[in-house]
């Protein structure tokens, strides 16, 4: 039987628990009945960390996981987004939330109408202030209120995009329990050596430190241990983001701070030399520091990280061709975006869903590899651009923040910024990972004032428009007043 005709019967996945189980759970849902999944888990302890996931994330829907299942974990709490503190100066605050699109008025986006009003009174600096009343999710978050998304498109609450904050160990356990044992074999071990076929450089078998050996037709590496044993993966494929995110150290620790009535959301606090991300959980918090090792001295670094913190190097970036031969790299084996906006978990789950759609069923998998690599690159670049946007627009005057400039940003992000600055419009593409409204809100909130007004907005009757806007604002005010406070929401 030729290689083209030979079917894939065994798929092996290797990695640390927090990256392995999101992938294994999603693959197990779509795995053909005649394919066996072998899960090789690296059981060593990992640094403490939390992840934030939108409740409408398609991966949760595919897994059949909703708020009720999440509530049963020890750590999960619900929120509406992340607060960015100090990014535009030490006292600045901005609430970044997922959001449905604001309803246009007479087919004109509300931010264009607010821009027309600000410029009509020669007060461009009031643009963000005039726009703020229409950011219902952000206003709710700032006021310490919470509600789940309404399914009624006429309700203002349909704009909400709630998130869950959960210890990543709890998340891994939840997903591990969803993998049915009948379809999979679970082994706790680490890869030790690889045997490869000289002719096509495909992997034949992987020896484990337990003395076992795994033979499969297709191998998945989610944490980098397998790829590290091969000679076929060059650093030339690594696309570094070190200039755009110039923080080369990351520390992780558990905090003792308990939830307050209003502050249940993630806080990303910019400071001189770095960024602190604090994620409240039900019984405490997870604190992660990203910072430039060249700035603090040894004692200052110890104080910053904390006596109990685990410190590791951080090198943000991603590979462009993660699937080669019969090995595909996901998660930490293929990219590192860091904890900001839980970008690493977001990428991992998108990679898993793409892979599930391209699971090879025959040993010749070149077509699937090309398509997976193409879609992986689209997702990685979209995620990269949104994560980098507030870094590109930050207004801090201390190093290295002040040296992060648009010139160091990807061309695709510069194009988005320039288009919005020029005309107040956002360049979007099919399959965007982030809401258009979130892009617009972040650009306005970080001080981008378009140079030109949409020509259609120039023809508006501002008196009539003021009445329409007041009615919309009143509906948002009433919805906000009716929302329960965080203290009344469980968990």
Task: Give DSSP secondary structure letters for 215-277.
Answer: E-SEEEESSSTTGGG-SS--GGGEEE-TTTS---EEEEEEE-PPP-SS--SEEEEEETTEEEE
Predicted pLDDT at 1: 36
Task: Identify which has the larger pLDDT, 294 or 394.
Answer: 394
**Tens of pLDDT along 415-440?**
999 999 999 998 877 778 899 999 99
Per-residue confidence (pLDDT) for residue 124, from 0 to 100: 93
Mean of pLDDT values over 61-76: 94
Distance CA(161)–CA(338), nearest Å, equals 22
Inter-axis angle of helices 436-445 and 411-423, to 10 degrees? 70
pLDDT of residue 489: 78
Q: Note if the bond before 406 is cis, omega within 30 degrees.
A: no
Whole-angstrom CA distances from 428 to 93, 235, 385, 399, 434 are 27, 31, 12, 32, 10
Q: Of the ranges 7-16, 112-121, 191-200, 332-341, which one carries the lowest mean pLDDT score? A: 191-200
Alpha helices in 358-435 (DSSP H): 366-393, 411-423
| pLDDT of residue 34 exceeding 70 | yes
The pLDDT assigned to 415 comes to 93
- Computed over every residue of the chain, the mean pLDDT equals 90
Q: What is the mean pLDDT of residues 275-302?
A: 82
Mean pLDDT, rounded, for 261-290: 90
Instruction: Give the end-to-end CA distance of the chain in Å, rounded to a whole number.
Output: 57
Residues near 177 by Cβ (< 8 Å), separated by ≥ 6?
none
CB 256 within 8 A of CB 72: no
Note the pLDDT tens digit of each residue in 166-198. Answer: 999 999 999 998 886 566 789 999 999 999 887
Is the Cβ–Cβ distance between 113 and 469 less than 8 Å?
A: yes
> What is the per-residue pLDDT across 372-418, written as a single tens digit (0 to 9) for each?
999 999 999 999 999 999 999 999 998 889 888 777 899 999 999 99
Residue 90, SS3 per DSSP? coil
Instruction: Report the C-alpha gap between 128 and 114 in whole angstroms.
Output: 8
For 291, list phi and psi in degrees, rounded to 5.
-155, 165
What's the pLDDT at 258?
Answer: 59
pLDDT the model gives residue 207: 97
Indicate the pLDDT class of residue 2, thresholds 50, 70 and 90: very low
Average pLDDT over residues 229-238: 74
Question: Is the model more confident about 351 or about 296?
Answer: 351
| Cα gap 197→203, rounded to integer Å | 6
Per-residue pLDDT, averaged over 190-216, amounts to 91
Residue 427: its H or E element: none
Residue with tokens 């294994």: 24
- How far apart CA 112 and CA 129 sit, in angstroms, is 14
With a cut of 60, say whether residue 4 has pLDDT above it. no
Q: What is the pLDDT of residue 183?
A: 67
pLDDT of residue 420: 96
* In the predicted structure, residue 3 carries a pLDDT above the cut 50: no
Q: Distance between CA atoms of 187 and 37, rounded to whole angstroms? A: 11
What does the block give as tokens for 325? 């031969």
Q: Is the pLDDT of residue 214 over 60?
A: yes
CA 248 to chain centre: 19
pLDDT (average), residues 136-148: 96
* Confidence tier at 199 by pLDDT (50, 70, 90): confident
Which tokens hold the place of 428? 């979007």
User: Once rounded to an integer, what is the mean pLDDT over residues 236-241?
Assistant: 89
């Amino acid at each position: 039987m030729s290689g083209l005709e030979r079917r894939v019967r065994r798929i092996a996945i290797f990695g640390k628990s927090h990256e392995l189980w999101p992938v294994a759970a999603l693959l197990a849902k779509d795995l053909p009945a005649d394919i066996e999944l072998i899960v090789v888990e690296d059981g060593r302890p990992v640094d403490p960390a939390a992840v934030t996931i939108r409740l409408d994330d398609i991966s949760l829907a595919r897994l059949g996981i909703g708020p009720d299942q999440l509530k049963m974990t020890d750590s999960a709490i619900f929120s509406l987004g992340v607060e960015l503190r100090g990014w535009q100066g030490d006292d600045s605050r901005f609430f970044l939330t997922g959001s449905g699109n604001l309803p246009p008025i007479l087919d004109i986006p509300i931010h264009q109408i607010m821009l027309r009003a600000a410029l009509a009174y020669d007060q461009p600096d009031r643009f963000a202030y005039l726009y703020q009343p229409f950011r219902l999710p952000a206003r709710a978050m700032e006021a310490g209120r919470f509600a789940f998304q309404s399914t009624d498109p006429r309700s203002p609450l349909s704009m909400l995009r709630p998130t869950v904050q959960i210890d990543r160990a709890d998340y891994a356990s939840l997903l591990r329990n969803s993998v049915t044992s009948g379809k999979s074999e679970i082994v706790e071990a680490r890869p030790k050596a690889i045997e490869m076929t000289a002719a096509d450089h495909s992997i034949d078998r992987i020896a484990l430190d337990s003395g076992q050996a795994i033979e499969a037709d297709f191998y998945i590496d989610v944490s980098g241990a397998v790829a590290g044993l091969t000679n076929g993966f060059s650093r030339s494929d690594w696309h570094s983001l070190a200039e755009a995110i110039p923080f080369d150290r990351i520390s992780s620790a558990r905090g003792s701070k308990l939830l307050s009535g209003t502050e249940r959301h993630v806080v990303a606090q910019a400071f001189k030399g770095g960024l602190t991300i604090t994620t409240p959980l039900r019984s405490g918090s997870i604190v992660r520091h990203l910072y430039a090792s060249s700035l603090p001295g040894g004692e200052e670094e110890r104080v910053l990280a904390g006596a109990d913190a685990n410190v590791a190097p951080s090198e943000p970036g991603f590979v462009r061709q993660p699937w080669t031969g019969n090995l595909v790299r996901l998660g930490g084996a293929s990219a590192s975006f860091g904890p900001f906006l839980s970008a690493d978990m977001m990428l991992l789950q998108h990679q898993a869903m793409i892979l599930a759609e391209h699971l090879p069923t025959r040993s010749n998998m070149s077509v699937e590899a090309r398509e997976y690599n193409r879609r992986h690159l689209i997702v990685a670049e979209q995620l990269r651009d949104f994560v980098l946007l507030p870094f590109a627009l930050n207004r801090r005057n201390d190093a290295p923040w002040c040296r992060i400039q648009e010139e160091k940003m990807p061309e695709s992000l510069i194009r988005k910024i320039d288009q919005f600055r020029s005309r107040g419009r956002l360049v979007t593409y099919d399959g965007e990972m982030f809401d258009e409204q979130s892009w617009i809100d972040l650009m306005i909130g970080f001080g981008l004032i378009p140079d030109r007004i949409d020509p259609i907005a120039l023809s508006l009757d501002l008196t009539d428009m003021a009445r329409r806007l007041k009615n919309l604002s009143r509906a948002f005010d009433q919805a906000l007043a009716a929302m329960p406070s965080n203290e009344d929401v469980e968990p």
